[in-house]
Amino acid sequence: MAIDEVVVIENSSVLHDEILVHRLGLIPLKTDLDSYNLPEECPCKSEFGCNLCRVALALDMEAGENTTTVYSQSLRSENPNITPVSEKIPIAKLAPNQKIRLEAYARLGKGKNHAKWQPVSACAYKYLPQIRINEKKCDACGKCIEVCPKKVFAKTEKRVEIQNILECTLCKDCVDACPQNPPAIEVSREENSFILNVESTGTLPVERIILEALNILDKKYEDFLNQLR
Ligand SMILES: [Zn+2]
């Protein structure tokens, strides 16, 4: 959910209305996917929306005698579950006697249409590493432990052990550092296995994001099959 429409009633700050509104749009809002409809799927079919496809937020701030920063906590939402994920996102600075009064409408949307609807701030995947240490050849000299930038290996008594394989970036420095010929370490990747890292903006829990993404993929495949038929 993100702010999609703003009625600026008064804005005497130095920011143009457009910039102010753009900043409001990019504030991540805690989202309730189960209680709201996408505007295009809502039975109201209204361009203004209804209680099932829109949340109103109001902002009314005036600086007194001192310069004041307006933070996201000043946005008052009609639904206490739909609020900014952080209270400390600066929106604008007001010089003495400057004023901002506006009403904003948040709606559900998709990142495909605007980045403000992206629930994810960072997403990356890598191969699942596979490391084999040949116990017969390895003399536990520890060269691989020293050279590994991710501290994948650890020494226990007379052996080298793998302690956090998920950190491995497959750089193979350990293989090059091994004095044995051929090396006692083998680094490869597992077929069909990946490590997916997802970071949420706070709008939705990561588990929910993944499940919703899978639902959307599922629907696309179903549509595709129907079209084929
Ligand atoms: Zn509606």
The CA distances from residue 5 to 39, 78, 106, 173, in Å, are: 13, 15, 7, 53
pTM for the model: 0.79
The pLDDT score that the predictor gives to residue 1 is 95
The pLDDT score that the predictor gives to residue 48 is 87
The pLDDT score that the predictor gives to residue 47 is 86
CA of 4 to the centre of ligand 1 (A): 14
DSSP state letters, the chain: -EEEEEEEEEE-SSS-HHHHHHHHHTS-B---TTT---GGG-TT--SS--TTT-EEEEEEEE--SS-EEEEGGGPEESSTTS-BS-TT-EEEEE-TT-EEEEEEEEE---TTT-GGG--EEEEEEEEEEEEEE-TTT-----HHHHH-TT--EEEETTEEEES-GGG-----HHHHH--SSS-SEEEEEEEEEEEEEEEE-SSS-HHHHHHHHHHHHHHHHHHHHHHH-
The pLDDT score that the predictor gives to residue 122 is 93
- Closest alpha carbon to 57 in 28, 89, 82, 40: 82
CA of 212 to the centre of ligand 1 (A): 21
CA of 103 to the centre of ligand 1 (A): 18
What is the mean pLDDT for each group of 10 consecutive residues in the chain (229 residues)? 97 97 97 94 91 96 95 97 96 96 96 94 93 89 91 87 90 92 92 93 95 94 97
The pLDDT score that the predictor gives to residue 157 is 79
The pLDDT score that the predictor gives to residue 195 is 92
CA of 2 to the centre of ligand 1 (A): 15
Whole-number Å distance between alpha carbons of 1 and 101: 22
CA of 47 to the centre of ligand 1 (A): 8
The pair of structure tokens assigned to 15 is: 């920011």
